[in-house]
């Protein structure tokens, strides 16, 4: 009877020990699924980061292009400003010259009027 008891115990341990193998395989399977899910999450997060980087690069390129355009326009405006300032200076010089001519002509007219008055006084 003792032999049957020992055999029974051994059979129970070997057959009942299947739960340990089942537990280990399920744990490995669950760990694998968790790792796969985690990798999928990291992949999705990487895609979001990559999309964000592309958006930032596009924004930076737009800002650079806009900046370059503004610099070019600014330079053109500076050149135009210099040209206009020179033109204004030339026109101011011409105005002063014309004012001098008007004053000179005014003095000439006054001299002629005075001369004519003196001539009329002598005649009278």
Query: Between residues 37 and 16, which one has the greater pLDDT?
Result: 37
| pLDDT for position 22 | 64
Residue 112 has pLDDT above 90, yes or no: no
Q: Which domain holds residue 62?
A: 33-123
In a domain, 1, yes or no: no
Q: Tokens for 31?
A: 């760990």
Domain count, the chain: 1
- 9 is a domain residue: no
Is residue 42 domain-resident? yes
Residue 62: predicted pLDDT: 97
Is pLDDT above 80 for 86? Answer: yes
Is residue 69 a part of any domain in this protein?
yes
- The gap from C-alpha 61 to its chain's centroid, in whole angstroms, comes to 7
> Which has the higher per-residue pLDDT, 22 or 72?
72
**Could you write out the three-class secondary structure of 86-119?**
HHHHHHHHHHHHHHHHHHHHHHHHHHHHHHHHHH
8 belongs to a structural domain:
no
DSSP letters along 53-88, please?
HHHHHHHHHHHHHHHHHHHHHHHHHHHHHHHHHHHH
d(CA 44, CA 25): 28
For residue 77, tell me if it sits in a domain.
yes
Residue 108 belongs to some domain of the structure: yes
Per the domain annotation, does 67 fall within a domain? yes
Q: What are phi and psi of 26, to 5 degrees?
A: -65, -35
pLDDT in tens, 42-55: 888 899 999 999 99
């Amino acid at each position: 009877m003792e032999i049957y008891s020992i055999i029974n115990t051994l059979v129970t341990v070997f057959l009942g020990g299947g739960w340990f193998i089942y537990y280990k395989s399920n744990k490995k399977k669950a760990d694998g699924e968790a790792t796969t899910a985690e990798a999928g999450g990291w992949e999705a997060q990487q895609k979001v980061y990559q999309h964000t980087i592309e958006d930032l690069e596009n924004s930076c390129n737009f800002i650079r292009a806009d900046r370059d355009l503004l610099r070019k326009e600014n330079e053109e405006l500076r050149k135009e400003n210099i040209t206009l300032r020179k033109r204004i200076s030339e026109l101011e010089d011409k105005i002063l010259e014309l004012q001098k001519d008007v004053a000179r002509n005014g003095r000439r007219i006054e001299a002629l009027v005075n001369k004519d008055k003196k001539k009329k006084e002598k005649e009278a």
